Homo-oligomer: A and B are copies of this chain.
Amino acid sequence: MTTARKPRAHRQAVTVTDIAKGCGVSRATVSLVLRGSPLVHADTRARVEAELKRQRYVYNRAAANLRRRTSSSIALVINDLSNPFFAEFAAGVDEALGGEGYVTLLGSTGESPERQQAVLGSLVEHAPAGMILSPAEHSDGLALRRQVGAGVPVLVFNRELSGADWDFLALDNQRGARLATEHLLSLGHRRIAFFGGHADSSSCQQRRAGHAEAMRAAGLEADPDWLVECSPTRAEAAGRTGELFERAPGATAAVCYNDNVALGLMLGLGARGVRPGAEFALTGFDDITEAALSTPPLTTLAVQPRECGRHAAQLLLDRVREPDAPVKRVVAPVRLVVRGSSGAQVP
């Protein structure tokens, strides 16, 4: 605990005692009515319910949680809420939790491990039943584990976290890249490069693995020269277009690390007089809004962040209900969206 707030009394709430007095029963009976117990007589129940309505009673869940030693909140810690992917994810989480009677405690870290520590410290004091954590970059898994404690189940999302044996949910990167590669293969392409991403990131490794898997299955050898690294930004990708063709001469298609890289590559191709989608096929990953609006529109993998969020909520609640179940590692489905950018003729 760190902060000092001005102690501000909140509304003089009407309590079970007021209701009990108001209709001549005991507080216990009121509580039983509130919790929907079948033990109480229908007439009594009706009387109590009328009184609840009359006095505009509002349940104090915090008090109930304290007494019952339960929790009705889940902490959701997001590294970057301004990223539409995570915003959608958060919406999905909140939607699913709400449906199960939980409330979402939000915490955003802005990719700062220090802020993450502070946020977790504050959230833990509110005794959430569990936590969904999309870790900030360079998070220390062991430190997080220590701070959160053993009592709060955690689901880690999106980024691998070493040193903690928590449940883990991530995109199905490998399958996504495999689907994209298979799609290009089915159109007749054989010389398919993998363009973009950093080889030391787990998501890039997984996407490369999917590409390699599909190539191998088609009886093609994946040449390591055909894996071109670059930062996942448009400008960087545009600038590396030349390198792609030097290292992968004769390539007729590329599976790109993500949409930004693909859109950058389109710019680079255009600058070299190569018409993307007509003379060179390419695919992205993420299905960002602009993917559908580019010229040509981009074939990509829709990652359905909202569904992902719902899925995460469900996984965490499973864990909350069954704390001793074995640790889970789950991949979220991705879906290939075919658009114009992959329509290039094979020479």
A-to-B contact residues, CB < 8 Å: 1-13, 34-36, 56, 58-63, 65-66, 68-73, 76, 81-82, 84, 86-88, 90-91, 94-95, 98, 100-108, 110, 118-119, 122-127, 129, 149-152, 289-290, 293, 306, 320-321
Contacts and interface: CB of A to CB of B under 8 A. Distances in A.
A290 to B, nearest CB: 7
Given A61-B1, A91-B81, A100-B3, A127 B10 contact: yes
Given A2-B101, A103-B105, A106-B76, A94 B70 contact: no
Contacts of A8: 70-71, 129, 320-321
A82 B122 contact: no
Contacts of A6: 321
Contacts of A289: 290
Contacts of A1: 34, 59, 61
A129 B10 contact: yes
Task: Give how many copies assemble into the complex.
Answer: 2
B106 A106 contact: yes
B150 A11 contact: yes
A64 to B, nearest CB: 9
A105 B106 contact: yes
A259 B88 CA distance: 22
Contacts of A5: 70, 72, 100-102
B62 A66 contact: yes
B107 A56 contact: no
Given A60-B127, A61-B127, A105-B106, 20 more contacts: A3-B101, A4-B36, A5-B72, A5-B102, A6-B321, A7-B68, A8-B70, A10-B69, A10-B151, A56-B149, A58-B125, A58-B149, A62-B126, A66-B66, A81-B88, A82-B91, A82-B306, A87-B90, A98-B122, A104-B106
